[in-house]
Structure 1
Amino acid sequence: MKTSEKITWLLFAIVVVAVYLFALDLPLLGPDEPRYSQVAREMFERGDWITTTLGGFNWFEKPALLYWLQISFYKLFGVSEFSARLGSALFGLGTIGSMFLLGKSVTAGSRRTDDTGRDHVSTEDQNPALPYWLFLITASSIGLIAFARGASFDIILTFPVTASLVSFFVYDHSPKTTSVKSYMPLIAFYVFIGIALIGKGLVGIVFPFAIVAFYYLLR
């Protein structure tokens, strides 16, 4: 890719970050954003990172990751709509970054097995622009923009599940060696599943493993 094209994509990436972070201080919307932000505020004011409460009463309907993100940014920037939403926005940007890394992995090469049963990497017929188009398509998805700009558990699930599956793809399409480095994508796969679990419960485990299982069944 030419230098001018790379600069264009870099400028576009800056615009995307600005769009996802712009005006996060708008009033909280609907029943969910105020509720989740209030739960985090009560935990923040008590200095309690474990027990979730709403109106002073125990409220255990959701896992704690969103609240932990909100509390962290309350500590950094004060209690505000911006702080309540910033974690979601960063997870949205993380989702975009994961898709970009997926494209980079595809263009870097894919795993092939030769007649001797040994793995090797093929780089034939790869489109070097693929990572950038994945970035563009993901970043411009209306659903992702909407959920990433709100205090939402959905984006807290979307990013780690996406990242876990990208990690699995990278591991599956990489040459296997005995080095620890070759297993890092597999380790990342499980780490992101753990994050998804504390992000939105058991669905964070079910989705990745079900998709991987179907992949092996259809392979």
Structure 2
Amino acid sequence: MRLSRRALPFLAIYFLILLYPGSALHLRESTEARYGEIAREMVVTGNWLEPHLNGIKHFHKPPLSMWGMAAGMELFGINGFGVRFFGIVAATAALAALLGTARIFLGSGDEAINAMLICGTSLLFLSSSRVVSTDIYLACFTALAQLMLFRQLYGGRSFWNAPLYGLFLGLGFLTKGPIILLFTLLPFLVAKTFDRDHRNVFTWREVAAAAGAFAAVALPWYLAVSISNPELPDYFLKVQTVDRVATNRFGRDKPFWYFFVIFSATFFPYTLFLARGVAGWKQLDGRIRTIFVYIVAPLVVFSLAKSKLSAYILPFYGTASIITAYALARFETARLRAATLVILTLAAVAAGGTGFFYKPAAPLKIQLLLYGVALLVLCAYLWKSRLSPQFVRNTALYTLCLSVTIYGAMTHLGPHLKGYGDMVAAIDRIDPEHKRDILMYGTFIPSLSFYRNRIAAMGLVTDRDLRFEEDGANRDIYLPTDADVERFLAARGEIFVVTDQGQMDQFRLKHACSVTPVFVQRKHTAYLCRREPPPHPVP
């Protein structure tokens, strides 16, 4: 896959922008902190085979994305930069693969470049690229697998497309399980029912090569962990696959139309142009109409499933970007461009005024105001060039600048945005040698373990899954009752406790502690707790 001289500078700049602001950006609860802590424990313990979360085996997802996070921390240290690094590499690789696919459908000119720019600066893709999670890795392997498939379909048949297709499907399976098949194999099979090109794509020899590559990559880890954890196959099949689709076991049930709204909002600022393409259905090229199935098929499945999170649909944003670039080049969109720029102008005003109406951002009001003014100047340039061929390029530039403004502000707002790095920094100033333990009382905040680089104990947290643990293996980490908490305290004269005010009132009464607030956050507070000596008997 060759990258043009115009694509390489964008990908390099995009990569560098995503690296900002690095370690200063807090891991947010609960998703980022959860995956970051799993990866940290891989680094610290050396056990990369069995993922652990706060000392307890955690098999909710296969480990490939956590391996990437752990590898980043091996290179750059246990911090936000290290844990995000290979996710940003994956985002950049996904865009490079999308460019290859876009050239198959749109040619090697500006339209293919535009498809890459559209995907990379759509809101969900741009934000997910920095998020510590599995989704950007899945999007990367989906884009690579689709590139191999579409090469075989339309870009030149080759035996090697098949094993590479199987390889990337296997890597996606090792990232998030069978969900990758919803973006690749399912729409491929659906398209066979109505599209002649999708029939007889691979020979039986090529199918065997693809299946062999998939099995060689995807299955060894599952087999290895199932030997030492015999309940695991049933857990993966029933709990993590069937229950996620058919039940509300994970508390993520949303209405049927949830993903339609999410997609419309998070594909911005390009949503209106995709809609224009859909409206001009009869005028679309036959191949462009066919690849709609790579959006519709997974969208229908996710809409019917009980478990719904916004980032689930990220892997089909590449296909949506190809269709959008096609529509922008062929349909009249002057009014849609103007409407989009009105919204972008309002976004610049909102960014500049955030410090005046959002109290936590008040210390940043001057910086944000200057950023807002700069964005408005860029908006003025966008208005002048809105009908030019550079519209997508300029819009992408604006979106990247807006993201720098937002993420720069977020580094100062961690405690207000479910980030606990500042709290741990305050604890470390009191206890730089980490002699005291942290107890999470009535709550579970994995970023405390991540930033402390030491597992925090969990008190009165009863939703941890211990099915793969030996009895008593985590008696100093998992404290489900007040009796367990009392035993934990008795062995330690002084600890830090993180909880909310209501829980702390109960804690003091039950365990006879004196407490001193260390760091007050919006929902939780860190306390330094000392056991009170028993009262002297009255003579």
TM-score (ref. length: structure 1): 0.80
- Residue 164 of structure 1 is aligned with which of 120, 124, 145? 145
Q: How does 1:1-219 map to 2 (within 5 A)?
A: 10-25=8-23, 26-106=25-105, 126=107, 128-176=109-157, 182-219=158-195
Contact 1:24 1:149 in 2 (8 A): no
Q: Judging changes above 3 Å, is the alpha-carbon distance between structure 1 residues 13 and 59 closer, same or farther for their aligned structure 2 residues?
A: closer
Aligned to 2:453: none
SS in 1 for 2:22: coil
CA distance in 1 between counterparts of 2:90 and 2:5 reads: 25
CA distance in 2 between counterparts of 1:8 and 1:195 reads: 29
Contact 1:49 1:68 in 2 (8 A): yes
CA distance in 2 between counterparts of 1:189 and 1:129 reads: 27
Contact 2:101 2:146 in 1 (8 A): no
Contact 1:20 1:93 in 2 (8 A): no
Deviation at 1:131, TM superposition (A): 2.0
Greater Rg over alpha carbons, structure:
2
Q: Judging changes above 3 Å, is the alpha-carbon distance between structure 1 residues 105 and 36 closer, same or farther for their aligned structure 2 residues?
A: same
CA distance in 2 between counterparts of 1:98 and 1:72 reads: 22
CA distance in 1 between counterparts of 2:102 and 2:183 reads: 21
Aligned to 2:522: none
Describe the superposition over 1:64-120 as per-residue Cα deviations: whole angstroms up to 9, x where unpaired: 01110111111111111111111211111111111111123345xxxxxxxxxxxxx
Describe the superposition over 1:148-186 as per-residue Cα deviations: whole angstroms up to 9, x where unpaired: 10111111211111211121001111444xxxxx12222
What 5-or-longer segments of structure 1 have no aligned partner? Answer: 1-5, 108-125, 177-181
The one-letter amino acid paired with 2:143 is T
CA distance in 1 between counterparts of 2:69 and 2:38 reads: 10
Moved over 6 A (4+): none
SS in 2 for 1:183: coil
TM-score (ref. length: structure 2): 0.34
Q: Judging changes above 3 Å, is the alpha-carbon distance between structure 1 residues 217 and 44 closer, same or farther for their aligned structure 2 residues?
A: same
Q: Judging changes above 3 Å, is the alpha-carbon distance between structure 1 residues 10 and 73 closer, same or farther for their aligned structure 2 residues?
A: closer
The one-letter amino acid paired with 2:177 is G
CA distance in 2 between counterparts of 1:150 and 1:77 reads: 17
Contact 1:160 1:193 in 2 (8 A): yes
Q: CA-atom RMSD, angstroms?
A: 1.9
Q: How many residues align?
A: 191
Q: Judging changes above 3 Å, is the alpha-carbon distance between structure 1 residues 78 and 213 closer, same or farther for their aligned structure 2 residues?
A: same
What 5-or-longer segments of structure 2 have no aligned partner? Answer: 196-539
Contact 2:72 2:84 in 1 (8 A): no
